A = this chain, B = another copy of it.
Amino acid sequence: MSSQGGPGGRGLGTAVRDRIRERIESGAWRPGHRLPAEPHLASLLGVSRATLREALKVLADDGWITRTPGAGTYVTHRPRLKNNLDVNFGVSELIESMGMRVGTQGLRVYDGPAGASEAARLAIPPESRVFVIERIRTADYEPVVFSRDVIPASIVGEGAQALDSLGQGTLYRMLEEEFGVVVNQGLAEIKPVKADRWTASQLRVPTGTMLLYLLQVDYDDTGRAVLLSHEHHVADAFEITVVRRGPGRNT
């Protein structure tokens, strides 16, 4: 299925892109810093200039670098954020990136037929068998997210007992390591809601507390829906940001 799943990712250009971005994120190349010229950088990275340029094109398109003919390639002068909805995937990484201890309470795993709405979003036949994972995520032992994850049985097959070991685990890592499913993209719908009685009691907050509700469907690289997540975030616990692409490049 997946071509190689090697070190960096799928494809040399993607690996080069990640390597360059890591240098920027780590601070080795600070904003305003000028990158080596393309031929030089290509030989440094051990790839051809065409491959390097594919990586640079994506980075420039994402706003990491700015390229001007005759002048050079510079790291864009723009603040970088953690806790970014675009890149941070999963609640565990979100909490860990804030330097807090991540934990799980009230884990509940069961299977059954999918409801009509959830089946439609997962693009599976109604009444198909799905596995459901409900749990409360804690940051420094404080409940911050109540989540309900729905996975089609066709994804996890019969090796579903591994789901029981999600005590503190990352669901995405388990999907990748146990079932060979690599989540490539997710489509999240964001809505502010007030905590109802049940959710409030789970999160140990007063009824009516402000929550951020994320309804998300994740897809693998073939476009197959592999995971549906309902996440109720305690509003004050996180600072959620999104990078938006400007109209200058998106019609």
* Interface set, chain A 66-104, CB cutoff 8 A to B: 66, 68-69, 76-79, 81, 85-87, 89-90, 93
- Chain A contributes a number of interface residues (CB within 8 A of B) equal to 70
Q: Are A223 and B183 in contact (CB under 8 A)?
A: no
A9 at the interface (CB under 8 A from B): yes
Given A53-B54, A54-B53, A210-B193, A186:B76 Cβ within 8 A = no
Set of chain B residues within 8 Å of A10, measured between Cβ atoms: 248
Interface contact B182-A246, CB-CB below 8 Å: yes
Choose the segment among A57-65, A132-140, A155-163, A196-204 that binds chain B (4+ C-beta atoms closer than 8 Å).
A57-65
Task: Choose one: B50, B221, B245; the contact of A185 (CB below 8 Å).
Answer: B245
Q: Which residues of chain B are within 8 angstroms of A31 by Cβ–Cβ distance?
A: 223
- Which residues of chain B are near A58, meaning CB under 8 Å? 57-58, 61
**Interface locus among A105-113, A141-149, A211-219:** A211-219
Chain A 176-212, CB within 8 Å of chain B: the 1/0 string? 1000001111111111111000000000000000111
**Given contact pairs A57-B57, A183-B246, a sample of 18 additional A-B residue pairs in the complex whose CB atoms are under 8 Å apart:** A10-B248, A13-B57, A17-B61, A18-B250, A58-B58, A58-B61, A63-B184, A78-B223, A86-B86, A176-B247, A184-B249, A185-B244, A185-B245, A192-B193, A192-B210, A192-B235, A210-B210, A216-B244
Question: Residues of B contacting A87 with CB < 8 Å?
Answer: 245, 250
B248 touches A9 (CB 8 A): yes
Chain B residues within 8 Å of A50, by CB: 50, 53
Whether A29 is near chain B, meaning CB under 8 Å from some CB there, is no
Is A251 part of the contact surface with B, judged by Cβ < 8 Å? Answer: yes
The reply on A127 being an interface residue by CB < 8 A is no
Asked if A241 contacts B190 (CB within 8 A), the reply is yes
Q: Is A3 an interface residue when CB atoms closer than 8 A count as contact? A: yes
A246 touches B185 (CB 8 A): yes
